[in-house]
A and B are shown apart, each in its own frame.
Chain A
Amino acid sequence: MRVALADDQPDVIEFMSSILEELDHIAVTFPDGERLSQALMRDTFDLVILDWNMPKKDGLAVLNWMKDAIKEAPPVIMMTSRTAKNDITAALNAGADDYITKPEDRNVIAARISAMLRRSGNSGSFETKATYGKYTLDRIEHNVSYDDKEVTLTAKEFELIDLLFRNRDRTMSRDYIMETIWRTNAALTTRTLDMHISRVRSKLNLKPENGFRIFTVFGYGYRLETLS
Chain B
Amino acid sequence: MTIRLRLIIEWFIILLLANLTVICFTYWNITSAFDNLLYDGISDSARPAADDNILIIAIDEQSLAQNGKWPWSRLLHAQLIEQIKPLNPRSISLDIILSDKSTEEEDKALAEAFYADSQAQQPAIFMPLHSVSPGENGKAYDIIYPNQAFIKSDDNIGHVNLTFDNDGVLRRFNICFQADEAGKQWPHLMERIYQNRHGRPSETMQKAAQNKLCEKPRMIPYSKRDTIAQISYSDVQKGNIPRAFVEGKDIIIGATANGLGDNYPTPSSDGGLLSGVEIMANMLGALERNDFITPVPLWQTIIILLLPIWLLLLSFLRLQPRQILIISAIIFFGLFGLCAFLLYFGYWLAPGPALVALLIAYPLWGWRRLQTVSYFMGKKLKELEAEEDSIPFHSKKKKSLDLIGRQRDTLDQAIDNIRSLRRFVTDTLSGLPDPMFVINLENEVILSNDILDSRLETSLVGRSLSEAIETLVCEEDRPAVYNYINATDDQNHNMLIDQEKVVRMNYNETSSMGFVRFSSKRGRNFVMRRTELLSDEGDLRGYIHYLADISALAKADAQREEMLQLLSHDMRAPQSAILALLDGKIDDQAKKSIASNSKRTLQLAQDFVEIARMGETPFDGEEIMIDNLIDDVIDSLWPLAKEKKIKITLSNNNEGSFIIGEIDSLSRAFMNLLDNAIKFSPESSEVYVKIKNMTFGNTPMISITIEDEGPGIVNNMLPTLFDRFTSNRSKEGRAQGTGLGLSFVSAVISRHNGSINADNKRNSGAIFSILLPESIIEEA
Residues of A at under 8 Å CB distance from B? 83-85, 103, 189-191, 194-195, 197-198, 201-202, 207-209, 213-216, 218-219
Q: Could you name 7 residue pairs across A and B whose Cβ atoms are closer than 8 Å?
A: A84-B664, A201-B627, A202-B652, A208-B635, A216-B628, A216-B632, A218-B663
Query: For the complex, is B606 an interface residue (Cβ under 8 Å from A)?
Result: yes
Query: For the complex, is B526 an interface residue (Cβ under 8 Å from A)?
Result: no
Q: Name the contact of A198 in the complex, choosing from B606, B639, B656 (C-beta under 8 A).
A: B656
- Measured between beta carbons, the chain A residues less than 8 angstroms from B602 are 103
| A197/B628 contact (C-beta < 8 A), A85-B663, A208-B638, A218-B663 known | yes
Contact B632 A208 (CB under 8 A): no
Contact B625 A194 (CB under 8 A): yes
Contact A207 B635 (CB under 8 A): yes
Query: For the complex, is B623 an interface residue (Cβ under 8 Å from A)?
Result: yes
Query: For the complex, what is the distance from the CA of A139 to the CA of B164, rounded to whole Å?
Result: 153
CB distance from A211 to the nearest CB of B (A): 11
Interface string of B599-626 (1 = CB under 8 A from A): 0001000100000010000000011110
Contact A198 B627 (CB under 8 A): yes
- Measured between beta carbons, the chain A residues less than 8 angstroms from B631 are 198, 201, 214
Query: For the complex, what is the distance from the CA of A213 to the CA of B632, rounded to whole Å?
Result: 8
**Can you name 14 extra interface pairs (CB under 8 A) apart from A197-B628, A218-B622?**
A84-B613, A85-B664, A103-B598, A189-B777, A191-B777, A198-B628, A198-B656, A202-B627, A207-B634, A208-B638, A214-B632, A215-B632, A215-B635, A216-B629
Query: For the complex, is B524 an interface residue (Cβ under 8 Å from A)?
Result: no
Contact B606 A83 (CB under 8 A): yes
Interface string of B626-649 (1 = CB under 8 A from A): 011101101110110010000000
CB distance from B453 to the nearest CB of A (A): 49
Residues of B at under 8 Å CB distance from A? 598, 602, 606, 613, 622-625, 627-629, 631-632, 634-636, 638-639, 642, 652, 656, 658, 663-664, 667, 777
Q: Name the contact of B625 in the complex, choosing from A198, A207, A213, A215 (C-beta under 8 A).
A: A198
Contact B658 A191 (CB under 8 A): yes
CB distance from B36 to the nearest CB of A (A): 112
Query: For the complex, what is the distance from the CA of A201 to the CA of B658, rounded to whole Å?
Result: 17
Contact A208 B658 (CB under 8 A): no
Contact B635 A191 (CB under 8 A): no
- Measured between beta carbons, the chain A residues less than 8 angstroms from B667 are 218
CB distance from A161 to the nearest CB of B (A): 15
Nearest chain-A residue to B624 (Cβ)? A218
| A195/B638 contact (C-beta < 8 A), A83-B606, A85-B663 known | no
Contact A195 B606 (CB under 8 A): no
- Measured between beta carbons, the chain A residues less than 8 angstroms from B628 are 194, 197-198, 201, 216
- Measured between beta carbons, the chain B residues less than 8 angstroms from A103 are 598, 602
Query: For the complex, what is the distance from the CA of A218 to the CA of B633, rounded to whole Å?
Result: 13
CB distance from B645 to the nearest CB of A (A): 12
Nearest chain-B residue to A225 (Cβ)? B635
Q: Name the contact of B623 in the complex, choosing from A190, A207, A208, A214 (C-beta under 8 A).
A: A190
CB distance from A204 to the nearest CB of B (A): 12
Query: For the complex, what is the distance from the CA of A67 to the CA of B602, rounded to whole Å?
Result: 34
- Measured between beta carbons, the chain B residues less than 8 angstroms from A189 are 777
Contact A191 B638 (CB under 8 A): no
Which of A209, A213, A218 gathers the greatest number of chain B CB atoms within 10 Å?
A218
Contact A191 B625 (CB under 8 A): yes
- Measured between beta carbons, the chain A residues less than 8 angstroms from B598 are 103
Query: For the complex, what is the distance from the CA of A202 to the CA of B628, rounded to whole Å?
Result: 10
The 5 A-B pairs at the shortest CB distance, nearest first, are namely A208-B638, A218-B663, A194-B625, A198-B627, A195-B656
Query: For the complex, what is the distance from the CA of A198 to the CA of B628, rounded to whole Å?
Result: 6
Q: Name the contact of A208 in the complex, choosing from B622, B627, B639 (C-beta under 8 A).
A: B639
- Measured between beta carbons, the chain A residues less than 8 angstroms from B663 are 85, 218-219
- Measured between beta carbons, the chain B residues less than 8 angstroms from A201 are 627-628, 631
Which of B624, B634, B635, B656 gathers the greatest number of chain A CB atoms within 10 Å?
B635
Query: For the complex, what is the distance from the CA of A189 to the CA of B625, rounded to whole Å?
Result: 12
- Measured between beta carbons, the chain B residues less than 8 angstroms from A85 are 663-664
- Measured between beta carbons, the chain B residues less than 8 angstroms from A208 are 635, 638-639, 642
CB distance from B594 to the nearest CB of A (A): 12
CB distance from A107 to the nearest CB of B (A): 11
- Measured between beta carbons, the chain A residues less than 8 angstroms from B627 are 198, 201-202
CB distance from A38 to the nearest CB of B (A): 34
Query: For the complex, what is the distance from the CA of A216 to the CA of B667, rounded to whole Å?
Result: 11
Query: For the complex, what is the distance from the CA of A213 to the CA of B656, rounded to whole Å?
Result: 19
Contact B777 A195 (CB under 8 A): no
Query: For the complex, what is the distance from the CA of A213 to the CA of B639, rounded to whole Å?
Result: 12
Contact B623 A191 (CB under 8 A): yes
CB distance from A198 to the nearest CB of B (A): 4
CB distance from B644 to the nearest CB of A (A): 14
Q: Name the contact of B638 in the complex, choosing from A83, A84, A197, A209 (C-beta under 8 A).
A: A209
CB distance from B379 to the nearest CB of A (A): 64
Nearest chain-B residue to A83 (Cβ)? B606
Query: For the complex, what is the distance from the CA of A191 to the CA of B656, rounded to whole Å?
Result: 8
CB distance from A52 to the nearest CB of B (A): 16
Query: For the complex, what is the distance from the CA of A105 to the CA of B777, rounded to whole Å?
Result: 38
CB distance from A145 to the nearest CB of B (A): 22
- Measured between beta carbons, the chain A residues less than 8 angstroms from B656 are 191, 194-195, 198
Nearest chain-A residue to B658 (Cβ)? A191
Nearest chain-B residue to A201 (Cβ)? B631
- Measured between beta carbons, the chain A residues less than 8 angstroms from B632 are 214-216
Query: For the complex, what is the distance from the CA of A208 to the CA of B640, rounded to whole Å?
Result: 11
Query: For the complex, what is the distance from the CA of A218 to the CA of B658, rounded to whole Å?
Result: 14
- Measured between beta carbons, the chain B residues less than 8 angstroms from A209 are 638, 642
Nearest chain-B residue to A222 (Cβ)? B628
CB distance from B668 to the nearest CB of A (A): 9
- Measured between beta carbons, the chain A residues less than 8 angstroms from B636 are 213
Query: For the complex, what is the distance from the CA of A177 to the CA of B664, rounded to whole Å?
Result: 23
Query: For the complex, what is the distance from the CA of A208 to the CA of B598, rounded to whole Å?
Result: 23
Query: For the complex, what is the distance from the CA of A213 to the CA of B667, rounded to whole Å?
Result: 16
Contact B664 A207 (CB under 8 A): no
Which of B624, B629, B656 gathers the greatest number of chain A CB atoms within 10 Å?
B656
CB distance from A56 to the nearest CB of B (A): 26
| A195/B625 contact (C-beta < 8 A), A85-B664, A219-B663 known | yes
Query: For the complex, what is the distance from the CA of A188 to the CA of B260, rounded to whole Å?
Result: 141
Query: For the complex, what is the distance from the CA of A194 to the CA of B631, rounded to whole Å?
Result: 12
Contact B635 A219 (CB under 8 A): no
- Measured between beta carbons, the chain A residues less than 8 angstroms from B622 are 218-219
- Measured between beta carbons, the chain B residues less than 8 angstroms from A190 are 623
- Measured between beta carbons, the chain A residues less than 8 angstroms from B638 are 207-209, 213
CB distance from B714 to the nearest CB of A (A): 33
CB distance from B700 to the nearest CB of A (A): 15
- Measured between beta carbons, the chain A residues less than 8 angstroms from B623 are 190-191
CB distance from A132 to the nearest CB of B (A): 17
Nearest chain-B residue to A189 (Cβ)? B777
CB distance from A135 to the nearest CB of B (A): 16
Nearest chain-B residue to A212 (Cβ)? B635
Query: For the complex, what is the distance from the CA of A218 to the CA of B639, rounded to whole Å?
Result: 22
Query: For the complex, what is the distance from the CA of A195 to the CA of B624, rounded to whole Å?
Result: 11
CB distance from B765 to the nearest CB of A (A): 23
Query: For the complex, what is the distance from the CA of A208 to the CA of B648, rounded to whole Å?
Result: 12
Nearest chain-A residue to B634 (Cβ)? A207
- Measured between beta carbons, the chain A residues less than 8 angstroms from B629 are 216
Query: For the complex, what is the distance from the CA of A202 to the CA of B691, rounded to whole Å?
Result: 14
Query: For the complex, what is the distance from the CA of A101 to the CA of B399, rounded to whole Å?
Result: 76
Nearest chain-B residue to A194 (Cβ)? B625
- Measured between beta carbons, the chain B residues less than 8 angstroms from A207 are 634-635, 638
Query: For the complex, what is the distance from the CA of A183 to the CA of B319, rounded to whole Å?
Result: 103
Query: For the complex, what is the distance from the CA of A195 to the CA of B654, rounded to whole Å?
Result: 12
- Measured between beta carbons, the chain A residues less than 8 angstroms from B606 are 83
Query: For the complex, what is the distance from the CA of A191 to the CA of B657, rounded to whole Å?
Result: 9
Query: For the complex, what is the distance from the CA of A207 to the CA of B613, rounded to whole Å?
Result: 32
